[in-house]
Amino acid sequence: MRRIHGVIVPSVLAVLALTACDPAPKSEAAPAASAPAAAPTTEAAPTTEAAATVDAATKKACTQLLKAVDDTVKKAADAEKIGPPAGYIAVSAQYIAGATAMTAYAIGANETVSAAAGKVEAAMDELDKAWNENPKKAPSKADLNAAIKDLKAACAA
């Protein structure tokens, strides 16, 4: 098992390094900060600008989150077809990477989307654990499917 973690941990760290840094929120925040100076006569304009920035960040997060979910589910299914033991280790790794992506892409999203992404992350973590505990029996994906449904609903709202 040590050998597995020797491969998975560096892979997860690489995924974190690649997905955790997104310079886009900084560039989106800059126009919102300058907007109140352009419209000092009304208080509604800064609120509208801030709301637009938050909505744009949430929309971007949803796009990334839903794409990451689709990629994770597809790659995990492909890895499961390989069979034991290598395929099942790969399934576990896909769920770890997917959970990491949920954390990274939820940054900047509104509370509803962030909470829904957290549920998807938790369900992926549980599937990872289940695959490691009993690689001969595929665990139920019901919790993951329910969490994905909640995330899609949160993003549609």
For 81-108, what is each residue's pLDDT tens digit? 988 878 888 999 999 999 999 999 999 9
Of the chain, the percentage scoring pLDDT greater than 70 comes to: 66
Q: Map tokens 């609120």 to a residue.
A: 47
Q: Beta-carbon neighbour count of residue 26 at 10 Å? A: 8
Distance of CA 46 to the CA centre of its chain: 30
Please tell me which residue, 15 or 91, carries the higher pLDDT value: 91
For 27-61, what is each residue's pLDDT tens digit? 444 444 444 444 444 444 444 444 454 588 899 99
Distance of alpha carbon 47 from alpha carbon 51, whole angstroms: 6
Can you tell me the mean pLDDT for 62-69? 96
